[in-house]
Amino acid sequence: MTDSNRRKGLRAASVLLGGVLVLSACSGGDSEASSGGGDSTSQAKVDEAAAKKASEAQIKITPKDGSDNASINNAAKVTVSKGTLTDVTMKTAAGTAVAGRISADKKSWSPTGQLERSTSYKITATADDSAGRTAHENASFTTVSPANSFIGNFTPEDGSTVGVGMPVSINFDKAITDKAAVQKGITVSSSSGQEVVGHWFSANRLDFRPEDYWKGGSTVTLKLNLDGVEGANGVYGVQQKTVTFKVGRNQVSVVDARTKTMKVTRDGKTVKTIPISAGGPDNKTYQGQMVISEKFKETRMDGSTVGFTKKDGKGEYDIKDVPHAMRLSNSGTFIHGNYWGAKSIFGAVNTSHGCVGLSDTKGAGDPNTPAAWFYNNTLIGDVVVVKNTGDKTVAPDNGLNGWNLGWAAWKAGSAA
């Protein structure tokens, strides 16, 4: 072979060899994989080994990471399966720690107090499996804002003792459009077994009462299970609370504007008859069943705040130290002590601007006056029935005076 022919042969061999090499490089992965070698097999083995070393503990944090409008009561929780919790921390976005407790079996954790609205929180959790291998989980969420939540301000207070006429009255800070959903989340029950029904006076007010006054000596329980209840579009409840109160003796006082007396009965027996002075001919006192909602040993009464004004805009009266005042309506009707009127008017003449006056002394310091006796023997929730005034019956929602609605009308206002 000449040198020229030898060089041509070498070039051909090189091209052929290059083709073999290229073919080998493209197909080598499959070939090596089938024989147990190569990069993918090595990675698979690494993954398998890592999986064997990973903890079996499965941590779950609620609410899920990134949630908003979360509950302030019971949304936050950490649980673990196939392991036990060893550490859980919860902090606000500002770094303030939130107290919490891991359960005795170390399977769950929850905060020990209520969360704040419109607050971002971060939870970090650690757990070990039976082999001591550790797992970690993190989540962040934001609680519901005041703009997207509602609360109900209720009366009477937890642990209080009240009169037999005291309704459970709830005033919501947002207008409720889904009244049925909200009422379903509220229960009121009595140890007496009386049927208790709710009545909506407006989109913001819901009262509960039985057909007749509460049984004296009974216990009433209010349960607010409103957490997460959508009361209006995009507006959720945040309360989860149980309230109990006691009903005291049955005291009902009957004011008769014609005889100008008040007869106080307790458990069906008359215990005292008190001379009174009701509203005068131009300012008659409302009639009807009224419930005492507030008590003040002394208070200011300014006529301008309830529509009694003179031409100069000042109140027709402004008494800064009215003694032994007990509220009967939101519009300004009180039963109260009167020290400025002559003693001769009580039991004889109706002279007030619509309140029921009892003889008293300035300073509310004399316990022997009729007004002091009545004040000291009265509970919030006691009933005062006013009759023979010639005026209209007080509106059922003017104060805590729903007893002026018949039972059928009361039940008709329920959304349940």
At residue 75, the pLDDT reads 81
Would you call 324 a catalytic residue per the annotation? Answer: no
Could you tell me which of 74, 58, 66, 60 has the C-alpha nearest to residue 111?
74
At residue 302, the pLDDT reads 76
Contacts of 199 (CB under 8 A, 6+ apart): 206, 207, 208, 209, 402, 405, 410, 411, 413, 414
What is the rounded distance in angstroms from the CA atom of residue 288 to the CA atom of residue 294?
18
At residue 29, the pLDDT reads 41
At residue 69, the pLDDT reads 86
Q: Which two tokens stand for residue 298?
A: 């002394």
At residue 305, the pLDDT reads 61
Q: Which two tokens stand for residue 351?
A: 């002279």
List domains and CATH numbers for the chain: 58-144 (2.60.40.3780), 148-248 (2.60.40.3710), 251-400 (2.40.440.10)
Which amino acid, residue 383? V
Residues in the chain: 416
Sites in the chain below the pLDDT cut of 70: 1-52, 303-317
Q: Could you give the C-alpha distances from 45 to 37, 39, 42, 88, 133, in angstroms and in order?
A: 11, 10, 5, 33, 20
Neighbours of 307 (CB within 10 A): 11
At residue 356, the pLDDT reads 98
At residue 49, the pLDDT reads 54
Would you call 199 a catalytic residue per the annotation? Answer: no
Phi/psi for 161 (5° steps) reads -115, 125
At residue 320, the pLDDT reads 87
Which position among 199, 324, 353, 355 bears the catalytic label?
355
At residue 309, the pLDDT reads 64
The CA-to-CA distance between both ends of the chain, in Å, stands at 110
Q: What is the pLDDT of residues 319-361, one digit of tens each?
A: 889 999 999 999 999 999 999 999 999 999 999 989 999 999 9
DSSP 123-185: EEEEEE-TT--EEEEEEEEEEPPGGGEE-EEEES-TT-EE-TT--EEEEESS--S-HHHHHHT
399: left (phi over 0), alpha (psi -120 to 50) or beta: left
Which position among 199, 324, 336, 353 bears the catalytic label?
336
Contacts of 89 (CB under 8 A, 6+ apart): 97, 123, 124
Could you tell me which of 83, 84, 143 has the C-alpha nearest to residue 111?
143
At residue 385, the pLDDT reads 98
